[in-house]
């Protein structure tokens, strides 16, 4: 710890900034791990339940069991829009038919798209911080190192000796900023890439579910 | 229906606390196990040692002279050994019944004279052996033709010749510390003058054309002059030195 204690004020500030980056990045990584893996598990269970169930109202009543799945939000939104259309059509002659001529399926598609966008936004929240940390932390660390080396050279100039015993400790103390910058950046970049992939999979699942939901609506309620 | 989308998802606040605790644990582990490297400043003073001592008019010039106390140390009685015996506790002397006869005295004188002659012969032989050894060392150095030690072409008997080597060594060390150059193989010829009080002055005879190297030479001379021992015999020392990135030579 002597190395950290003997660094200058600017290097100390850089180290504190990097520590903040690291703490927040790891917080986001833990949070996203929990969120994404819960969403994956709940989505698998929800799809299994969805294809076994015969009626939409039965599925709607069981949604609380799969609260972490983004698909339940899509279903809730699509089913709600369908019910509203049904209520509107009931006022007319044939109560069991959703007229595509009036844009009923398009309404549901728009509702599903909106829900998908909302869920993507939720899933991708805080990922920008990981990207920022991954991109900037090494440079912040490098700044600390450059500053530390400048200070070390100034001290060497004052001491009047250029032996390795005088030069090496100052440079080693300065290099610690780059090391901590990399320690902060590497997990952030790895986490960002990992979660991007997982979220992409969830988005494709949501797109597939939307298409299937619209097909079912078209088959059973369309004219 | 928009409200249905807004579920109460837990925020990442708890995870930030967990992350902070993890960082704290890692920090404590590093501190406890001393994982970061530690540097200790070496306080050992730098000592210069002249490896070659050529025979010169003033043998003490350029070599660390023993201090007065050290030179006198052998002569001075070391921690007083316990007194052999106080007069009161003296061993019983041999009975001085027999007084030394004239014959015995003559024998003692003869033995003393022989011992003295023997010691003189031994000292003479040792001196001859030492002279031969130094002559052999000097020949070997001359044959070697190295420009780094001694004076090329010099006889090694002039006053101050060892001071040249000494000054060359100091200038070489100083130049290593101040080295800076732009040109490929710069060379500066400069006359170095050292006054009897140890003040060093220099005059550039032939600059290198590389301002960086010229400045490095100037700083080297200044640096070497900070800890310079004055020339022997209270005389001025003046000599032309050749400064190159590889080292310092005597012209």
Nearest-Cα residue of chain A relative to residue B30 = A1
Distance to chain B for A27, nearest Cα, Å = 4
Q: Tell me the per-residue pLDDT of A88-131, one tens digit each, with 9 for 90 and over.
A: 776 665 556 555 554 678 888 999 999 999 999 999 999 999 99
Of A54 and A28, more confident: A28
Per residue in B38-93, pLDDT (tens digit) is: 655 555 555 666 666 555 555 555 555 554 444 444 444 444 444 444 444 545 55
Pick from A27, A84, A168: CB nearest B19: A27
**Is the distance from CB of A39 to CB of A205 less than 8 angstroms?**
no
Backbone angles phi, psi at A136, to 5 degrees: -105, -25
pLDDT above 80: residue B238:
yes
Span B158-210, pLDDT tens digits = 544 578 888 888 888 888 888 888 877 888 999 999 988 888 888 888 888 88
Residue B202 to chain A, least CA–CA distance (Å): 22
The whole-angstrom separation of Cα A130 and Cα B12 is 14
- Check residues B141 and B121 and name the one with the higher pLDDT: B121
* Residue corresponding to tokens 């090496």: A168
Which pLDDT belongs to residue B5?
A: 47
The pLDDT tens digits for A32-74 are 999 999 999 999 999 999 988 878 888 888 888 888 899 999 9
Q: Please check whether residue B15 touches A, CB under 8 A.
A: yes
* 3-state SS, residue B243: strand
Can you name the residues that pair with B243 across neighbouring β-strands? Answer: B188, B248
A28 touches chain B (CB under 8 A): yes
* B20 neighbourhood in chain A, CB within 8 Å: 23, 27
Full-model pTM:
0.53
Contact B12 A162 (CB under 8 A): no
Which of B3, B9, B12, B35 to mutate to probe the A interface, most A CBs <10 Å? B12
**Residue A105 main-chain phi, psi, to 5 deg:** -70, -35
Number of domains in chain A: 1
- Tens digit of pLDDT for each residue in A194-203? 999 999 999 9
Residue A66 phi/psi, 5-degree rounding, is -120, 45
Domain assignment of residue A198, given as a range: 2-221
Please report the ipTM that was assigned to this predicted complex: 0.77
Q: Do A1 and B9 touch (CB under 8 A)?
A: no
pLDDT at residue B156, as a whole number: 45
Which tokens go with A177?
């900023």
Is residue B124 over pLDDT 70? yes
pLDDT at B107 exceeding the cut of 80: yes
Number of residue pairs across A and B with CB atoms under 8 Å?
A: 72
For B219-237, what is each residue's pLDDT tens digit? 899 888 888 888 887 888 8
pLDDT at site B11: 79
Order of strands across the sheet that contains B188-194: B200-206, B188-194, B237-244, B247-250
* A73 vs B: CB within 8 A: yes
Contact list in A for residue B7 (CB cut-off 8 A) is 67, 73
- At residue A142, the pLDDT reads 95
Percentage of chain A beyond pLDDT 70 is 90
Sign of CA dihedral A169, A172, A177, A183: negative
Contact assignment for A169 to B41 by CB distance below 8 Å? yes
pLDDT at A170 over 50: yes
Pick from A24, A76, A161: which is nearest to B16 by CB?
A24
Token readout for B128 is: 């001859």
All residues of chain A having their beta carbon less than 8 Å from the beta carbon of residue B16 are 23-24, 27
Pairwise CA distance, residues B107 & B72, whole Å: 35
Across the range A126-155, mean pLDDT stands at 92
Q: What is the pLDDT of residues A74-87, one digit of tens each?
A: 999 999 988 888 88
């Amino acid at each position: 710890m002597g190395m950290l204690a003997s660094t200058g004020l600017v290097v100390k500030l850089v180290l504190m900034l990097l520590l903040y980056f690291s703490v927040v990045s790891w917080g986001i990584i833990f949070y996203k791990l929990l969120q994404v893996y819960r969403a994956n598990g709940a989505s698998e269970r929800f799809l299994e339940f969805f294809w076994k169930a015969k009626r939409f109202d039965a599925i709607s009543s069981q949604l609380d069991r799969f609260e972490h799945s983004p698909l339940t939000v899509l279903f809730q939104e699509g089913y709600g829009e369908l019910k509203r259309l049904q209520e509107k059509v009931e006022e007319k002659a044939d109560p069991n038919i959703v007229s595509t001529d009036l844009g009923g399926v398009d309404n549901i598609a728009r509702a599903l798209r909106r829900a998908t966008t909302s869920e993507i936004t939720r899933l991708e929240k805080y990922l920008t911080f990981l990207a920022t940390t991954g991109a900037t932390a090494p440079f912040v660390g490098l700044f600390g190192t450059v500053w530390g080396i400048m200070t070390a050279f100034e001290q060497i100039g004052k001491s009047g000796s250029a032996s390795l015993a005088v030069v090496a400790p100052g440079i080693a103390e300065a290099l610690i900023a780059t090391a901590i910058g990399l320690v902060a950046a590497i997990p952030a970049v790895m986490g960002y890439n990992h979660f991007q992939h997982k979220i992409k999979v969830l988005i494709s699942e949501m797109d597939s579910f939307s298409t299937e939901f619209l097909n079912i609506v078209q088959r059973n309620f369309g004219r | 229906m928009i409200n249905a989308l807004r579920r109460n998802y837990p925020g990442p606040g708890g995870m930030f606390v967990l992350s902070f605790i993890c960082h704290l644990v890692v920090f404590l582990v590093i501190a406890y196990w001393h994982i970061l490297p530690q540097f200790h400043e070496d306080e050992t003073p730098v000592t210069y040692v002249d490896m070659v001592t050529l025979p010169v008019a003033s043998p003490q010039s350029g070599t660390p002279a023993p201090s007065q106390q050290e030179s006198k140390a052998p002569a001075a009685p070391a921690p007083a050994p316990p007194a052999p015996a106080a007069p009161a506790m003296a061993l019983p002397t041999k009975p001085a019944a027999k007084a030394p006869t004239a014959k015995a005295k003559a024998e003692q004188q003869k033995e003393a004279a022989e011992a003295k002659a023997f010691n003189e012969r031994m000292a003479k032989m040792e001196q001859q052996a030492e002279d031969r050894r130094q002559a052999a060392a000097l020949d070997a150095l001359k044959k070697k033709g190295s420009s780094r030690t001694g004076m090329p072409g010099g006889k090694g008997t002039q006053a101050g010749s060892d001071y040249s080597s000494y000054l060359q060594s100091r200038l070489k060390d100083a130049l290593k510390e101040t080295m800076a150059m732009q040109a490929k193989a710069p060379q500066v010829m400069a006359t170095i003058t050292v006054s009897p009080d140890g003040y060093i002055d220099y005059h550039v005879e032939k600059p290198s054309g590389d301002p960086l190297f010229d400045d490095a030479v100037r700083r080297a001379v200044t640096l070497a002059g900070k800890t310079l021992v004055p020339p022997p015999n209270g005389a001025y020392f003046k000599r032309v030195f050749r400064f190159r990135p590889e080292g310092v030579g005597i012209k």
